Structure 1
Amino acid sequence: MRTVTPRALALLLLISTGVLLSGTAATAGTATDGSARAAAACSAGTGPYQWQLEEHLGRPQDGWQSAADCAAIAAFQRKEGIKPADGYAGLVTYRTMLVAQARKAPNAAGACPVPTPARKVACVDLDRQLMWVQNGGRVLFGPAAVRTGRLGQETRTGWHKVYWKHKDHFSTLYANAPMPYAQFFSGGQAFHGHPGELFDGGGSAGCVNLTVTDAQRLWGVLAVDDSVYVWGRKPGT
């Protein structure tokens, strides 16, 4: 058996350390280069909700798009399934951000009452254009983005109850418009799916519009006589 001298052992350790450091530097360089490439490839301009997205994503808040801002917004869009994930801070991305912020605790501010004894309540937050269903402190559905009544046709605030459900409903007031998974709670106003663009910047004729997918899920959560509570004021989006 050959004996390794202390000098030879030290030399081997020095070589091994150099190889490891070189590999680490190469890996770090690859990650940095990848981030830089992602930022460079993102070219969307400043969006109307730039400031809000910068705050949400922990970016420097100056209200102006940078390549790094663009890359961060695009990454958020990909995570939330927004298409195109182009890094533009538009209405769809902003409204999705509100859902993401509320996801863990939609009633953190306590705006939706929790009755005693606890019962199921569909909570409609006009300020944030969100709704969810809770029973006591437990969230059964949502939060989900909604589109509520426009100026002059506002969704009625206060307490209501689901009084009728019709899965394949068509409007008798508005040109036979489809209202899938309709659940009526106040004089013709209902939760229902909206087959078109939910984030079109407008408002409904008083109903609480959801995506058809969310309306289908809500259909299985609410029943006739379940409570509905609506508060706030719809912003101009």
Structure 2
Amino acid sequence: MTKRSHVRCRRSRLVRGRSSLAALATLVGSLVVLGAAGASAAGVPGVAPREDDGTTMCRLSTGPYQRQVEKYLGLPEDGKQSAQDCAAIQSVQSAYGIVPADGYAGLVSHRAAVVDWATRHKASLTGCAGRSRLVVCVDQTRQLLWVRQGKKIAFGPIPARTGMPGHRTRNGSHRIYKRVEKFWSSLYDAPMPFSQFFDRGEALHASHRPIFEDPGSHGCVNVRYADARALWSLLRVGDGVEVFGRRNGN
């Protein structure tokens, strides 16, 4: 078995605001919110400044995942953006390093809201059978990963990124059969740190890309570098990997 023939993985603005208020108002009218140093959003429809420093704009237009984000963040589920919604979404965006942190309920914000919810509701993480030994649970629908031992969650939940259309991560019950801490993919000419292979060329490994962004992987399960390192210390050859659900997005 060669690394080239079996690895299917890939490694893979705020636009600076214009200084004039007139230009800012024009752009806001098209539902694109731009932060401008020294510019005030007072009186501009669809925009509100954040309460922290007044310079980061809050996008008050309703996003395509508005109701889902409201649900996961415990907000009133009316499917309409409000200043309260926007501030809560901005907080989650900032916590997960999402740029721009504009409070808009798009797909990336939805994925972050799911992780935020999951960390507060671990008992609700279902779909992965408990075993006497460790099993990695990969929920493709919610783009989550956690490790279970029996009825106890031993690690996570954390955000994960699975395969894009045409390179779907294969669902099913697997076991880790090989671990390579400093793996280099000759197929993609890319580093894949802390690789733990569980199904032919599919592996759990670190990614340096922002974890919530599209496109998905070429079949591997991508996690953040620190999470991959923690999984490396926790797991061993023979531990289980359960993959289920279907990724929403590219």
Normalised by the size of structure 1, how large is the TM-score? 0.74
Question: What pairs with 1:27-66 in structure 2 (closer than 5 Å)?
Answer: 38=51, 42-44=57-59, 45-66=61-82
1:236 aligns with 2:249: yes
The offset of 1:194, in angstroms, is 0.8
Q: 1:136 aligns with which of 150, 160, 163?
A: 150
Percent of matched pairs sharing the same residue:
46
Show CA shifts across 1:114-145 (max 9, x none). Answer: 23xx1111111111111111111111111111
How far apart, in 2, do the equivalents of 1:198 and 1:57 lie? 20
Secondary structure of the 1:38 match is coil
Specify the code of the residue in structure 1 equivalent to 2:69.
Answer: L
Identify the residue that residue 97 of structure 1 maps to in structure 2.
Answer: 113
Specify the code of the residue in structure 2 equivalent to 1:216.
Answer: R
The offset of 1:64, in angstroms, is 3.0
How far apart, in 1, do the equivalents of 2:166 and 2:50 lie? 49
Single out whichever of 160-169 and 195-204 deviates more from structure 2: 195-204
Q: 1:203 aligns with which of 207, 211, 216?
A: 216
Contact 1:140–1:221, Cα closer than 8 Å, also in 2: no
Single out whichever of 147-156 and 179-188 deviates more from structure 2: 147-156
How far apart, in 1, do the equivalents of 2:175 and 2:67 lie? 38
Identify the residue that residue 23 of structure 2 maps to in structure 1.
Answer: none
How far apart, in 2, do the equivalents of 1:235 and 1:145 lie? 14
| Higher RCO by CA contacts (8 Å cutoff, separation 6 or greater) | 2
The offset of 1:182, in angstroms, is 0.5
* Greater helix proportion: 1
1:145 aligns with 2:163: no
Secondary structure of the 1:156 match is coil
Identify the residue that residue 178 of structure 1 maps to in structure 2.
Answer: 191
Unaligned 5+ runs, structure 1? 1-35
The offset of 1:204, in angstroms, is 0.7
Contact 1:106–1:132, Cα closer than 8 Å, also in 2: no
How far apart, in 2, do the equivalents of 1:113 and 1:182 lie? 23
Normalised by the size of structure 2, how large is the TM-score? 0.71
Contact 1:91–1:201, Cα closer than 8 Å, also in 2: no
How far apart, in 2, do the equivalents of 1:74 and 1:234 lie? 24
How far apart, in 2, do the equivalents of 1:236 and 1:79 lie? 22
1:125 aligns with 2:154: no
Specify the code of the residue in structure 2 equivalent to 1:141.
Answer: F
Contact 1:150–1:206, Cα closer than 8 Å, also in 2: yes
Secondary structure of the 1:73 match is helix
Secondary structure of the 2:156 match is strand
The offset of 1:202, in angstroms, is 1.5
How far apart, in 2, do the equivalents of 1:104 and 1:43 lie? 25
1:169 aligns with 2:176: no
Corresponding residue pairs, total: 198
Distance change (3 Å), C-alpha of 1:68 and 1:99? closer
RMSD, aligned α-carbons = 2.4
Max Rg structure: 1
Unaligned 5+ runs, structure 2? 1-48
The offset of 1:78, in angstroms, is 4.3
How far apart, in 2, do the equivalents of 1:91 and 1:105 lie? 21
The offset of 1:165, in angstroms, is 0.8
How far apart, in 1, do the equivalents of 2:242 and 2:78 lie? 37
How far apart, in 2, do the equivalents of 1:160 and 1:91 lie? 29
